Amino acid sequence: MENTVWIEQLFWPFPWRSVRWRSSCQIGIAGEAPWGLPRRSTTHELHGQMSFFSKFLKLGSHNMAIDLGTANTLVYVEDQGIVLDEPSVVAIETINGIERVKAVGDDAKMMMGKTPDTIKAVRPLRDGVIADIEVAEKMIEHFIRKVHGKRTLFRYPEITICVPSGATSVEKRAIRDAASNAGASEVYLILEPMAAAIGADMPVTEPVGSMVVDIGGGTTEVAVLSLRGLAYTTSVRTGGDKMDEAIVSYVRRHHNLLIGETTAERIKKDYGIAIIPEDGVGETFTLKGRDLVNGVPKEITINQAHIAEALSEPIGAIVEGVRIALENTAPELAADIVDQGIVLTGGGALIRKLDEHLREETGLPVSIAENPLTCVAIGTGRAMEDPIYRGVLHTA
Ligand SMILES: Nc1ncnc2c1ncn2[C@@H]1O[C@H](COP(=O)(O)OP(=O)(O)OP(=O)(O)O)[C@@H](O)[C@H]1O
Ligand SMILES: [Mg+2]
């Protein structure tokens, strides 16, 4: 596959013509026209013309880096930076038994929890990996087309995409295939904590140990990095989603009130805090949902201390992951971490006082990356653009 180039996109809008170009410079065309023409198969020798043809195909095409996250997908385009940042949500409508994509990203997220029976809003990634491959492919394809606009005839981007460090080879292949099927000519993978560390300007190419904790929607990745490699990594399947679930179940248990995931996420963002506020209460706010006893809509008053209590379990799991990583870090690297400290990235890093809590629990300096939500996409983009990071990309 290494030297094989798919140029299916050249034949857009005739996608049934699938052309494979091998390193021996042969083109084999296989496919069947929808009006029933017989399957054709021809082979042309193209001595030495590969580079010209490649350049031609790449006209108007930009390589892309994708942070395919459980909660958000970000697309970084070569020489342009982040051009797309939308929720990883797809709304699917079923009419007469036939499913079609109704909305993707922001539009689909607005429908979550409010859809009629004929529409379902799906999150194709769960726990940091692809749970629904077909929907994930559709989502990636939609975002690539959105970024590339109308230049689809020359669509030929190389795509660098990040994967959680704990992803299995099957999961990695699913992500690769989704990007290939969505039109990528070549797919490179980068491990998410490496991308996060590059995006947070950490010294990953130097012989210095540093620790990054990327708290995403589905997973928390804890990694110790040195010399372009991961010296130790662990992935905890706890992140923002588990925090939302913890808020839903806290409110149900203590107030007999049923709230949706979207409401819980909003509360987490607006009031979420890792430790009980100094005055023991913090901010007080109201919350609406459905009363579990009599089934009618109801409003309750709750405060930040309650939210800290609700979040204690998922935050405890994150702290435990950090502690395990520290225990397993080689002494020389551990000594570096004492100086360098721990850097937090990912949306979960924005939970109030989480840095303070980790500082207390580990006794180490803890800082939050400048743009925690975009670190991974920026790091993936830099790894794609800057030859200094080339060693961190993988093809499988
Ligand atoms: N201000 C905030 N406070 C608390 N949590 C936040 C805040 N902003 C975003 N989040 C949470 O961060 C999570 C999304 O973070 P991020 O975009 O880094 O995840 P992701 O990359 O999609 O997920 P993963 O890396 O696990 O695949 C969501 O759960 C979201 O609710
Ligand atoms: Mg992420």
Residue pair 379/195 in contact by the 8 Å Cβ criterion: yes
The residue written with tokens 């996608």 in the block is 15
294 and 255 both lie in a single domain: yes
Neighbours of 286 (CB within 10 A): 8
Confirm whether 181 is domain-assigned: yes
Is residue 15 very low, low, confident or very high in pLDDT (cuts 50, 70, 90)?
very low
> What is the CA(104)–ligand 2 centre distance, in A?
18
Q: Per-residue pLDDT averaged across 327-331, rounded?
A: 95
Question: Domain residues for 141?
Answer: 62-84+134-201+374-396
* pLDDT for the residue numbered 260: 93
Residue type, 41: S
The CA distance from 391 to 395, in Å, is 11
Residue pair 143/181 in contact by the 8 Å Cβ criterion: no
Please tell me if the CB atom of residue 86 comes closer than 6 angstroms to any atom of ligand 1. Answer: no
Please tell me if the CB atom of residue 238 comes closer than 6 angstroms to any atom of ligand 1. Answer: no
Q: Which residue has the higher pLDDT, 259 or 396?
A: 259
Q: Which of 161, 269, 311, 376 to mutate to test the pocket of ligand 1 (most atoms within 8 A of CB)?
A: 269
* pLDDT for the residue numbered 145: 84
* pLDDT for the residue numbered 363: 96
* pLDDT for the residue numbered 38: 35
Q: Per-residue pLDDT averaged across 82-105, rounded?
A: 95
196 and 79 both lie in a single domain: yes
> What is the CA(219)–ligand 1 centre distance, in A?
10
Q: Specify the ligand 1 atom closest to the Cα of 88.
A: 22
pTM: 0.84
Confirm whether 326 is domain-assigned: yes
Is residue 112 very low, low, confident or very high in pLDDT (cuts 50, 70, 90)?
confident
Confirm whether 160 is domain-assigned: yes
Residue 41: is its pLDDT beyond 70? no
> What is the CA(195)–ligand 2 centre distance, in A?
9
Please tell me if the CB atom of residue 166 comes closer than 6 angstroms to any atom of ligand 1. Answer: no
> What is the CA(64)–ligand 1 centre distance, in A?
22
Neighbours of 378 (CB within 10 A): 24
Please tell me if the CB atom of residue 217 comes closer than 6 angstroms to any atom of ligand 1. Answer: yes
User: What tens digit of pLDDT does each residue of 48-71 get?
Assistant: 444 555 455 554 568 999 999 999
Residue pair 147/159 in contact by the 8 Å Cβ criterion: no
76 and 153 both lie in a single domain: yes
> What is the CA(25)–ligand 2 centre distance, in A?
39
Confirm whether 188 is domain-assigned: yes
* pLDDT for the residue numbered 6: 38
DSSP output for 155-168: ---EEEEEE-TT--
The CA distance from 113 to 136, in Å, is 20
26 and 53 both lie in a single domain: yes
The CA distance from 235 to 253, in Å, is 29
Confirm whether 104 is domain-assigned: no
Confirm whether 113 is domain-assigned: no
* pLDDT for the residue numbered 3: 39
The CA distance from 199 to 380, in Å, is 7
Nearest to residue 163, comparing CAs of 150, 173, 153? Answer: 173
Confirm whether 360 is domain-assigned: yes
* pLDDT for the residue numbered 128: 75
**CATH number of the domain residue 229 falls in:** 3.30.420.40
Per-residue tokens: 197: 């560390």
Is residue 396 very low, low, confident or very high in pLDDT (cuts 50, 70, 90)?
low
Residues 6+ apart with CB under 8 A from 214: 192, 193, 196, 220, 221, 223, 344, 345, 346, 375, 376
Angle between helix 169-181 and helix 133-148 axes, rounded to 10 deg: 40
341 and 254 both lie in a single domain: no
Residue 216: is its pLDDT beyond 90? yes
User: What tens digit of pLDDT does each residue of 159-183 get?
Assistant: 999 988 878 888 888 889 888 887 8
Instruction: Look over the chain and give the mean of its residue pLDDT values, rounded to a whole number.
Output: 84
155 and 196 both lie in a single domain: yes
Residue pair 310/277 in contact by the 8 Å Cβ criterion: no
- Ligand 1 atom 18: residue of nearest CA: 346
Residue 391: is its pLDDT beyond 60? yes
Please tell me if the CB atom of residue 233 comes closer than 6 angstroms to any atom of ligand 1. Answer: no
> What is the CA(348)–ligand 2 centre distance, in A?
10
304 and 248 both lie in a single domain: yes
Residue 139: is its pLDDT beyond 80? yes
The CA distance from 273 to 304, in Å, is 7
Residue 39: is its pLDDT beyond 90? no
The residue written with tokens 């929808």 in the block is 34
| Residues surrounding ion ligand 2 at CB below 5 Å | 69, 216, 376
Please tell me if the CB atom of residue 199 comes closer than 6 angstroms to any atom of ligand 1. Answer: no
Residue 11: is its pLDDT beyond 80? no
Per-residue tokens: 233: 């990594």
> What is the CA(101)–ligand 1 centre distance, in A?
24
- Ligand 1 atom 11: residue of nearest CA: 347
Q: Residue 151: in which H helix or E strand, if any?
A: none
- Ligand 1 atom 3: residue of nearest CA: 269
Q: Which residue has the higher pLDDT, 385 or 40?
A: 385
> What is the CA(381)–ligand 2 centre distance, in A?
14
Nearest to residue 204, comparing CAs of 71, 333, 34, 360? Answer: 333
- Residue ranges with strand state E in 216-358: 220-226, 229-236, 257-258, 284-291, 297-303, 342-345
Q: Per-residue pLDDT averaged across 64-83, rounded?
A: 95
* Domains of the chain: total: 4
234 and 270 both lie in a single domain: no
319 and 349 both lie in a single domain: yes
Q: Specify the ligand 1 atom closest to the Cα of 127.
A: 26
Tell me the percentage of the chain whose pLDDT exceeds 90: 67
Q: Which of 277, 296, 312 is the last residue of a domain?
A: 312
219 and 171 both lie in a single domain: no
Confirm whether 90 is domain-assigned: no
The residue written with tokens 């990203």 in the block is 105
- How many residues appear in the chain? 396
Radius of gyration of the chain (CA): 24
DSSP secondary structure letter of residue 356: H
261 and 367 both lie in a single domain: no
Dihedral angle at the C-alpha atoms of 57, 157, 396, 84, nearest 10 degrees?
-170
161 and 71 both lie in a single domain: yes
Q: Per-residue pLDDT averaged across 310-323, rounded?
A: 98
